[in-house]
Chains A and B, each alone.
Chain A
Amino acid sequence: MDTIIETTRGTVKVIRFNKPQKKNAIDGDMYLRVTKILNTAASDDEVSMVVLTGTGDFYSSGNDYSVSRPEGAWLQILGDFIKAFITFPKLLIAIVNGPAIGIAATTLALCDMVFASENAYFYTPFSKLQITAEGGSTLTFPRLIGQRKAAEMLLFNHKMTAKEGLESGFINRVYKPEELQSKAWEKIQEILKSFNKMIPMSTKCIRDGVWNSDLPVSSLVKGDIVHIKAGDVIPADIRIIESKGVVLCCGDLTALGRVAGLAARLQPEPSPLAREIRRFMRYMSIWALSLGVIIATASIILGYPFIQTTIFVIGMIVANIPEGLQPTITASLTLTAQRMVKKNCLVKNLEAIEALGAVTTICSDKTGTLTKNKMCVRHIWIWDRKYSVADPDFESTLQVNQALKAIKICGALCSTAVILPNGDIQGDASETAILNFLCAYDDPVTASVHLNKRLSRYVVVIKGAPECILSRCTAVVMENGNVNITNEVKKAADNATEDLANTGERVLAFADLILDPKEFPMSFDFDTEEINFPLEGLRLIGIIGLKDPPRDEVRQAIERVRAAGIRVMMVTGDHPATARAVAIEVGIATTAACHVITGNDLRNMTSDLLYLTLEKHHEIVFARTSPTQKLQIVEACQRQGSVVAVTGDGVNDAPALRRADIGISMGITGSQVSKQTADIILMDDNFATIVLGIEEGRKIFDNLKKSVCYILISNVPEVLPVFMFILFSIPLPLGVMTILCIDLGTDMWPAVSLSYEKAEADVMERPPRHGDPLVSARMLRLVYGHLGLIEFAAGMYAYFTVMAEHGFYPADLFGIRERWDNEAVNDVRDSLGQEWTYAERKELERACQATYFIAVVITQMMNGVICKTRFNSIRDVGMKNHVLNIGLLFELVLAYGLCYLPGINNFFCTYPLRLQWLFLAIPFSALLLAFGEFRKYCIRKKLFGGWYNEMTFY
């Protein structure tokens, strides 16, 4: 029986350990076979990856000790085996169908991907066998699973289960045993598909005098001579010699590589949200701790035992720390990120999405983001007027125009671009655009006629910068024949050129000359190096204006962004005129006189001057800038206190992306480095997507505010009872356990679900939050001065009611604490002369605290409704947030559960309440709603001279 089965599936080589009777233990012969297969596959172009798996329910139990080993060569065999794994250049995938032990487990660490079944485990008992750890595992394991875990595996014979392996990163996926093969192969097919997209860039080069037509770019070395032509990506830093280039530097040593390195060294600022949370948490902690200290002091002075004091302090701190904040933040960010992915915006750094909401300045590059990154023919000038291609009448008006025909011939012939069999056009951007244009307005049949004509006589066609072409022309094509060029014609042509150039178009003039067949017979040998044919006395055909047109949605998007008070600046490497024209077209600049700063200007500016310029001019276009200057601009903006978003796609944008508060890269055109550096990737390269991001970001911050407000409100009825207890000596109205129930139980879900709220009406109409903290004085005033007190009143009302129903009337409660809490006093007299034992009193206290707790819960439910909106009326918004609705219901059910479930209520010191005690907080809930709506109404209408806005609009 064959112990190694080698099969091929498409381009995938499959190696199967097939010795199920011995749990696929590997013997010498098997080692040699696998080594050989791997080494052959490594150089076999037909193989794209190798898959390892085993027969039966074991992957492999490692070394087969039962078979005698070939003496001497043994170590060599093992070494070669491991080496084959390490040096294998292609994808190596293991489908682990069962336990992998010893060397089988260590080679898994050398595979690129590992899929395992649920019953697999990984076991490397080297120390038990008293042998050295095999297969480089001392190196690979720590890298994969960390030093500690690796030590556990390699030194302490820890048996790692598949689940654990997945968690620690040892393997990629875990599947059910019966699904393993099908699911793993599904994945492999996926990988194979993506291979087609990842065709490695190759280049043509001469190395050691040998011509390599298809060398991967990554294997270029210094000294190679590469051939490049128009449209190629330059594979390395090269020095051009004639049309070839000698490689000087490659990889990280290239200019681009150094820029990428610069990005890695820059430390990004912490996100505005992180800063905000840190600040808030610091203040909150100080507040909670100082309250704790006050309570502790008071408690000690009142003679409470240490344990009781500790419980008070813990209660105080727990009451004040907003525990719900972190889950809320995570929930909002994750939710938004998911939503953004659907809108073609991949959020890599979750906090960036919120930062986008705080953005005050966007530095956008031009090509690809604002524009389509595709040259198009926009205008054609044919004697004696300009035609716009976008004009719907364009085709019909020029149908019979001689000049258009001529320009088509000229454009098609005078081009090095080629049309590939699949219809794509490869070549210089301008020529591609021209060919594209011709394809759209011409049909291939006429093109062949031109070729026939050309057979009878030679035509010189020429295109180039208008000033060069014009000087060589003596005639111009008009609608009905040629006319000699006069000054008047020349001037008209010059005007047209200037006109087009000013709108940011790239201008090309076309001319031709029909050569006399007698002078240049068919056999004439043309030489372009030493020109042996006339290039004077040409016939001017026309001028074409090319342009990279702005994306359709961009203008509207920029309008919205500007309405949201965000400044948009363009930073581009393009010509100032082009940049300015695009800026005007997309709305970055509103007047033609917008401030354009070129890279040269920037170089001569001191940082103070740049600062002042940024202050003075709102609309700025940076043109002809270098990557480092982009960084400089970002830093200048940040010095002004702006929160800066930067878009960029090139490697050279990486430093600026890193430095910016939000780096945005492009999914289609973006380079790998820029994507790695960026916080957000726009999968459709579309600027308009940023607007969505800003809206979402602002919404997150708004919703966070709502959550924080909601969480903080319940602090008031949690803290004040302790003060009542200390100052007025009444029995404690709310216990520590019940505080925990509120903070960690009932408040949690509604607080988190507030992040599901929709954006408010004004979200994109107000300026970016600048110095607007998460928790403002206004919010604190509202929380501690208004809403919280209403809840406290509700709680106290509930407390006094229960006390009174049992015979302790409010007036008699004040000052009762000392006897009440004294375990030795078994006859505390109530207002009706009844005498209460300690146990009875404590039970009553629990009932009161539970009623207080329910009152807080019921008012908090109403608060959830109030906190839904900051500005709009709840009537307009409605209760459409079902997560919140369910959350409020859950809050109530949980509270009742805490009170009524036997055992649970004992643990949490609550009490099964009488029915009517559940409704005591209703009037206060109504007051909360009335006050909340009244306040929001005043805020909307700016009543009382904007009093409420100033006081409580957080």
Chain B
Amino acid sequence: MQRNVKLEEFEIETKPSRSSERGKVRNFIYDGNTGAFLGRTPESWGKIIIFYIVFYASLVALFAICMVTFHQQFINPRVPRLQLDRGLIGTSPGLGFRPLPPDVRSTLIWYKGTSYESYKYWEDQLKEFLSVYKMKGQTAGAGQNIFNCDFRNPPPPGKVCDVDIRGWEPCIEENHFSFHKSSPCIFLKLNRIYGWRPEFFNDTQHLPQEMPVELQMQIKNITEYNRDYANMVWVSCQGETPADKENVGVVRYLPYPGFPGYFYPYQNAEGYLSPLVAVHLVRPKTGIVINIECRAWAKNIKYDRREKLGVVHFEVMIE
């Protein structure tokens, strides 16, 4: 709207222009009179943008300074600042199992023993999980760190122990982890905690009362062969109820019924691999859900069934 300057002085009382709603919106987006865009002139926009850039830059700078200072002062990229009991991870590692079911909330391993399509998922899961164990020679820096450990020969600093996948036989990929024979293998692993050293139940005469008799027997057997083998984090799996215990049948632990002590402590060495125990359910009852509970045994692993401490639970159902 052009204004007549000469006329203006005679306009004592101008009526408010009745612009339509659309006109108002259009004026807000772009006002031809002032050159304002979205209610502000370009100059005003420029100022506001510069202001916010400066403000946010200084805020981000302070944040960055704080973060960098903190990281340089306190954080070692390879060692956690708060270890074991000083941090929240604690001294009692959790026990885990593989393969994991597709539904994140479920712990049921369910397949048809005769159908390849049915157990393929579980097989793939395990293949993926175990691939690092298979390809350890190829992962960067891992190969040369491998040290041939045994109980008398713990790895020197910076070196890692080898996990022999052959020891899991018949729970190996080539054998479909024995899933196709309706006698599946479940892998157990202990969570890594930096610097954690297990306190072994290595006195075969004083094993805890609640330890399953089978495990006690096995421990005694193993240690008879070599006393050093007592330095293990023992593992036991059994059915939860008496019925489950019956249904689960014979359970074999490969290579040992426990995690060898020379894998500990974990010190974030390049190429470290967690030791695994393959739990082979040799002949579980089919067509029924079997509740299985596996427990890790060490003096400093807390056990609480309700809090799921030191114990892992899963169900198996084979049709």
Contact = CB atoms under 8 A, between A and B. Distances in A.
Interface string B64-86: 00110011001101111110000
Given A805-B81, A834-B80, A927-B59, A840 B75 contact: no
A804 B75 CA distance: 7
Nearest to B106: A824
A806 B194 contact: no
A858 to B, nearest CB: 14
A796 to B, nearest CB: 8
Contacts of A786: 55
A797 B66 contact: yes
Interface string B53-65: 0011011001100
B192 A834 contact: yes
A797 B75 CA distance: 14
Nearest to A835: B191
Interface residues of A, number: 41
Nearest to B80: A807
A79 to B, nearest CB: 73
Given A804-B75, A837-B191, A832 B268 contact: yes
A240 interface: no
A790 B59 contact: yes
A836 B192 CA distance: 8
Contact of A824 (B56, B70, B107, B189): B107
B120 interface: no
A947 B47 contact: yes
A801 interface: yes
Contact of B82 (A797, A806, A826, A840): A806
A844 interface: yes
B266 interface: yes
Given A807-B80, A951-B51, A836 B59 contact: no
Contacts of A805: 74-75, 80-82, 87
Nearest to B314: A824
Given A805-B82, A806-B82, A807-B194, A927 B62 contact: yes
Interface in B270-299: 272
Contacts of B62: 793, 923-924, 927
B105 A824 contact: yes
A806 B194 CA distance: 11
A825 B94 contact: no
Contacts of A843: 88
A951 B45 CA distance: 12
Contacts of A831: 77
B66 A923 contact: yes
A606 interface: no
A800 interface: yes
Nearest to A923: B66
B191 A836 contact: yes
The residue in B71, B101, B192 that gathers the most chain A C-beta atoms within 10 A of its C-beta is B192
A826 B191 contact: yes
B89 A836 contact: yes
A767 B78 CA distance: 64
A833 B51 CA distance: 43
B93 interface: yes
Interface in A801-852: 801, 804-807, 809-810, 822-827, 829-840, 843-844, 847
A601 B144 CA distance: 108
A354 to B, nearest CB: 31
B193 to A, nearest CB: 6
Contacts of B81: 804-807
A833 B312 contact: no
Contacts of B217: none
Nearest to A806: B87
B89 A834 contact: yes
A166 interface: no
A838 B313 CA distance: 14
A826 B105 contact: no
Given A832-B194, A835-B191, A927-B62, A947 B51 contact: yes
A521 interface: no
B63 A793 contact: yes
Contacts of A839: 307-309
Given A827-B189, A832-B268, A844-B88, A800 B67 contact: yes
Nearest to B95: A826
A924 to B, nearest CB: 7
Given A835-B93, A835-B192, A807 B87 contact: yes
B52 interface: yes
A840 B80 contact: no
Contact of A835 (B59, B193, B308, B309): B193
Interface string B181-207: 000000001011110000000000000
B154 interface: no
Nearest to B60: A793
A785 interface: yes
A883 interface: no
B141 interface: no
A821 B268 CA distance: 25
Interface in A169-223: none
A823 to B, nearest CB: 7
A789 interface: yes
Interface in B216-256: none
A785 B66 contact: no
Contacts of A823: 104-105
Contacts of B312: 826
B109 interface: no
Interface in A758-789: 785-786, 789
A713 to B, nearest CB: 14
Contacts of B143: none
B61 to A, nearest CB: 10
B100 interface: yes
Contacts of B170: none
A810 B66 contact: no
Contact of B71 (A789, A793, A804, A834): A804
Contacts of A796: 63
B268 A833 contact: yes
Contacts of A923: 62, 66
B70 A804 contact: yes
B68 to A, nearest CB: 11
The residue in A796, A834, A840 that gathers the most chain B C-beta atoms within 10 A of its C-beta is A834
Contacts of B268: 832-833
Given A797-B66, A807-B194, A837 B47 contact: no
20 contacts: A800-B67, A804-B81, A806-B87, A807-B89, A810-B67, A824-B105, A825-B100, A826-B95, A826-B312, A830-B80, A832-B78, A832-B79, A833-B266, A836-B94, A837-B308, A840-B90, A923-B62, A923-B66, A924-B66, A927-B58
Interface of B: 47-48, 51-52, 55-56, 58-59, 62-63, 66-67, 70-71, 74-75, 77-82, 87-90, 93-96, 100-101, 104-107, 189, 191-194, 266, 268, 272, 307-309, 312
For the complex of A and B, the 7 pairs showing the least CB-CB separation, nearest first, are A837-B94, A835-B191, A807-B80, A805-B81, A844-B88, A827-B96, A835-B192
